[in-house]
């Protein structure tokens, strides 16, 4: 099976702009979770989508949003970018059928905010 | 909410030695504990996981142990090789909602030839 794919791999934006990141999960997986990775805060959970519904949400401001399509592909959007949003954004794919299912990560999108 | 602490932050070993990374978690309701390996420029790779009804799990050179009473779990790598060099993350999940992993701060493992 193909792994989790994320596009684009790199992005450079300026403060105040918005950005949309895309994630395609492993075929057959219905859950997509998003994480932010920074040197200071480590890996932090943003939100999870399952069958087009947000099922769980972390402690991030409303500028961070997402959605999932009927083919399980997911997008996350960050509006009004701040310098502190510079990070590696990772998505993880799983079957989502139980709390203890394996999550498989994509390579990430490196976002730089200038 | 759940909090996961991970030690040490860096670990240097000689090729062939064993390496042990330890994590503690705060939420006694957590019931799933995966370990990830992250190489430079890549996303985290799941290397082994354990569920709360199991005390130990082994996969070739890597093993994970879980002590639910003490809320500790550990990763053991035997016969380390230079390609084991990477950052390793522990995580926990279960009570806070489906698929939400709470990660430790990571351990940078360096295996010298």
A41 touches chain B (CB under 8 A): no
Closest by CA to A48, choosing from B2, B91, B100, is B100
CB B25 within 8 A of CB B3: yes
- Report the gap between the CA of B31 and the closest CA in chain A (Å): 7
Which of B43, B46, B101 shows the shortest C-beta gap to A108? B43
In the predicted structure, residue A31 carries a pLDDT above the cut 70: yes
3-state secondary structure of A9: coil
- Among A43, A51, A91, most B C-beta atoms within 10 A, so best to mutate, is A43
Yes or no, beta carbons of A103 and B101 under 8 Å apart = yes
- Bridge partners of B13, per DSSP, are B111
Chain A, residues 13-32, CB within 8 A of chain B, namely 31
- DSSP letter assigned to residue B80: -
Q: What is the pLDDT of residues B67-113, one digit of tens each?
A: 999 999 999 999 999 999 999 999 998 765 567 899 999 999 999 99
Q: Take residue A91 and report the two structure tokens written for it.
A: 């998505």
Supply φ then ψ for residue A45, to 5 degrees: -75, 130
Euclidean distance between CA atoms B36 and B91, whole angstroms: 8
The answer to whether A92 faces chain B, any CB pair under 8 Å, is yes
- The model's pLDDT over A70-111, given as tens digits with 9 standing for 90+, comes to 999 999 999 999 999 999 999 999 987 776 679 999 999 999
Q: Do A100 and B94 touch (CB under 8 A)?
A: yes
Q: How confident is the model at residue B58 (pLDDT cuts 50, 70, 90)?
A: very high
Nearest chain A residue (CA) to B6: A42
> Do the chains contact at B34 and A103, CB–CB below 8 Å?
yes
For position B2, what pLDDT does the model report? 86
């Amino acid at each position: 099976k193909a792994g989790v794919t994320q596009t684009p791999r790199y992005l450079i934006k300026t403060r105040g702009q918005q950005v949309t990141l895309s994630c395609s999960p492993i075929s057959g997986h219905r859950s997509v979770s998003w994480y932010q990775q920074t040197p200071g805060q480590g890996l932090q959970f943003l939100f999870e989508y399952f069958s087009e519904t947000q099922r769980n949400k972390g402690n991030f401001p409303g500028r961070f949003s997402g959605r999932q399509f009927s083919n399980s592909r997911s997008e996350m959007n960050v509006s009004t970018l701040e310098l502190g949003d510079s990070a590696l954004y990772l998505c993880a794919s799983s079957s989502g059928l139980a709390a203890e299912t394996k999550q498989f990560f994509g390579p990430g999108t490196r976002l730089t905010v200038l | 909410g759940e909090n996961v602490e991970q030690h040490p932050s860096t670990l240097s070993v000689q090729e062939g030695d064993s390496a042990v990374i330890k994590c503690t978690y705060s939420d006694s309701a957590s019931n799933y504990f995966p370990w990830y390996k992250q190489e430079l420029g890549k996303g985290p790779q799941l290397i082994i996981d354990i569920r709360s009804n199991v005390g130990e799990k082994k996969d070739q050179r890597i093993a994970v142990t879980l002590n639910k009473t003490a809320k500790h779990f550990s990763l053991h790598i035997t016969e380390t090789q230079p390609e084991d060099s990477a950052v390793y993350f522990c995580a926990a999940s279960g009570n806070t909602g489906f698929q939400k992993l709470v990660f430790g701060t990571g351990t940078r493992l360096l295996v010298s030839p």
